[in-house]
Amino acid sequence: MVILRVRGVTFRYGSVEALRDVTLEVREGEVVSIIGPNGAGKTTLLKCILNLLKPAGGVILIEPHGNVAKMWGVERAKLIAYTPQVEAPAAPFTVLEFVLLGRKPYVGRTYSREDLRVAEEILEELGLRDLALRRVSELSGGEWRKALIARALTQKPKVLLLDEPTNHLDLKHQVSVLELIKKLSRTKKVATLMAMHDVNLAIRYSDKIIALKKGRITYCGHPNNITANLIKELYEVNAEVIKDSNGVPVIIPKTA
Amino acid sequence: MSGGCGRREGAYASLTKRRVAALAGLATLLTLLTITSLSVGTATLTFAGAARLLAHLILPVGAPPIPQDLMRIVVELRLPRVLMGVVTGACFGVAGTLLQSALRNPLASPYTVGVSASAAFGAALAIILGAGVVGWFGEYFIYTNPYAVVANAFVFSMLCAAMVSALALIKGVTPGVTILAGISMTYLFSAATSLLQYFGTSQQIAALVFWMFGDLGKAGWLDVEVTAAVLVTCFTVAMLMSMDYNALMLEDDVAHSLGVNVKRVRAATLAMASLLTATPVAFVGVIGFVGLLAPHIARFLVGADHRYLIPTSALTGATLLLGADTLARTILSPLILPVGVLTAFMGVPLFLHLLLKRGAKFW
Ligand SMILES: Nc1ncnc2c1ncn2[C@@H]1O[C@H](COP(=O)(O)OP(=O)(O)OP(=O)(O)O)[C@@H](O)[C@H]1O
Ligand SMILES: [Mg+2]
């Protein structure tokens, strides 16, 4: 079932065109990665979906709730959660409090027992339980990234927008965070759309790859169909594509 | 604050318990300080006597616990000063927290939006030119009606604050821009005040300098009541919005994704913090540092959750200012020092200690 529908979205920063006629869909439980060079418009696209930026044309729909641009802030916040490309740990929140912030769209003046239950359950799932009372400023990069994802999940969204969730993570944490994202998208029936720089990781953990260049979609399809040509066209880098033992393509960049 | 694990159900409860304990401790400290402050002064009153008097004033049953004439001195002179210290300190504490959170900047203080300089300009206008928002007074009126100066100081600081707050509504205006706008307003109004001083007589300049020195001794009962009303109103609104402030501690984009209308909350908060600052400043003059320091101490005690942070800042601010004023009245008695000097002398070492202890982390 399609949850997120982006139709013909165009966006300009002043006269700079950042997105041109972007159309895509993300289904329930699916993980879709947007790849593309720096400045391709990945972050801009996520911000448009979040209604942080207002597209000049096109619509963004969350099925069956309707047009994102017409929603109240709180209504939208119950459907879409977001973690930015960079977010510094602000304020002396403990991890538990930080994750509880994700309950914002649901709470009145105080957290209910349900809010606490949701937050603690997610901390448990992400293996952050023992850090619940640690200050967010005292987390490692990987733990912090997980805390960000935990906050987003505590929002109980239908759509999860992650801007480079593996930014600054070592290999182990890249793998564990992406595995978590994939598992949680499935179990929680969330439509996940993420911007990714690491093409190999994107291929490995996504159900679908969308390639963006200069604000236009140049490829949209199964990760297994990625070719050296596409990489060349996208990143202007010569690459060799080999298949691993499971038939998953592995991109090896070559010097010019 | 290093990572405890705690039992699963217990984690949040233990956090809450610690905060309630901090609040209760501060409230007790402030009560003791209030009684102490009432008892010190040239007309002698014991701590127990002051405590009984306070109890009698709150719940007037039976005969007054102290002689009539002593009671008059305390109630008419000492009590308004002490209470003004409490409400002003609380105003500054809450305003400081609101500003630091709304601008997401630990260096912001109630004066960041230009409130003090514009208040001084308003006062200077009234004192030196005899001109003000309630008409042209002439010198005689100024000296007989101190509220001309108060009204002027208040209106000008709110005008300045309104401009800076409204700026936050404009698209693309970041907290940094707001802070810079506030700083430039400070320069602008300081320059204008200097210009006025240039044309003033030496008595007028002395009167202005005296006004600018924060002094709680100026406060009468009306001042206390007005300030307390502003405090209670703004405090209540701030408490109702505390969940929004919590979300605002995250980046703007993230706060937006949590459903907060960032610009509107920010502008409203700046306006509220300005009101909380401008009101006491108009009555008692500029008292620095409490509004910068109190939020840091409060955050150190209870963390960043505004449901606890706001009341803690109020109590911390009140304790700091009343403590400083009590010292100002006693260390060189019978000479009374300007409280603003004491807040800086006491506050700076405390602030530096706090910052060093925390390392490079401001928050
Ligand atoms: N606030 C802005 N004002 C003007 N132009 C902008 C703004 N933000 C981004 N752009 C431009 O829009 C284009 C798309 O930027 P965007 O941040 O979406 O790229 P991206 O794909 O996320 O890049 P990266 O991989 O480097 O994060 C770029 O050309 C960028 O220079
Ligand atoms: Mg980006």
Please report how the helices B262-284 and B221-240 are oriented relative to each other, as an axis angle in degrees rounded to 10. 170
Partner-chain contact A105 B259, CB within 8 Å: yes
Q: What's the CA-to-centroid distance between A229 and ligand 1, angstroms?
A: 25
Determine the pLDDT at residue B3.
40
Is B42 exposed, middle or buried, given 0-12, 13-18 or 19+ CB atoms closer than 10 A?
A: exposed
Instruction: Please name each of the domains of chain A with its CATH number.
Output: 2-87+157-253 (3.40.50.300)
Q: What's the CA-to-centroid distance between A127 and ligand 2, angstroms?
A: 28
Query: Which pLDDT tens digit goes with each residue over A150-205?
Result: 999 999 999 999 999 998 788 888 898 899 899 989 998 999 999 999 999 999 99
Query: Which pLDDT tens digit goes with each residue over A24-42?
Result: 999 999 999 999 999 999 9
B331-B332-B333 Cα angle (round to 5): 95
**ipTM of this predicted complex?**
0.90
Partner-chain contact B6 A132, CB within 8 Å: yes
Q: What's the CA-to-centroid distance between B334 and ligand 1, angstroms?
A: 66
Query: Which pLDDT tens digit goes with each residue over A53-82?
Result: 999 999 999 988 889 889 999 999 999 999
| Lowest pLDDT segment from B23-27, B97-101, B160-164, B304-308 | B160-164
A163 interaction partners in chain B (CB closer than 8 Å) = none
A18 CB within 6 A, ligand 1? yes
Determine the pLDDT at residue B316.
96
In chain A, which ranges are E strands? 2-13, 16-27, 31-35, 57-62, 66-67, 80-83, 159-163, 191-195, 208-213, 216-221, 239-243, 249-253
A29 CB within 6 A, ligand 1? no
Is residue A200 within 8 A of residue A173, CB to CB? The reply is: no
Chain A and chain B share a number of CB contacts under 8 A equal to: 114
Is residue A216 within 8 A of residue A199, CB to CB? The reply is: no
Global pTM value = 0.89
Partner-chain contact B251 A96, CB within 8 Å: no
> Given ligand 1 and candidates A42, A83, A214, A234, which is best to mutate, with the most ligand atoms within 8 Å of its CB?
A42
Q: The dihedral of CA B169, B172, B174, B180: what is its sign?
A: negative
Residue B177 to residue B174: CA distance in whole angstroms: 5
B100 interaction partners in chain A (CB closer than 8 Å) = none
Average pLDDT over residues B251-255: 92
Residue B62 to residue B71: CA distance in whole angstroms: 15
A19 CB within 6 A, ligand 1? no
Phi/psi of residue A101, nearest 5 degrees: -55, -30
Partner-chain contact B246 A90, CB within 8 Å: no
Instruction: Please name each of the domains of chain B with its CATH number.
Output: 78-358 (1.10.3470.10)
A41 CB within 6 A, ligand 1? yes
Query: Which pLDDT tens digit goes with each residue over B291-307?
Result: 999 999 999 899 889 99
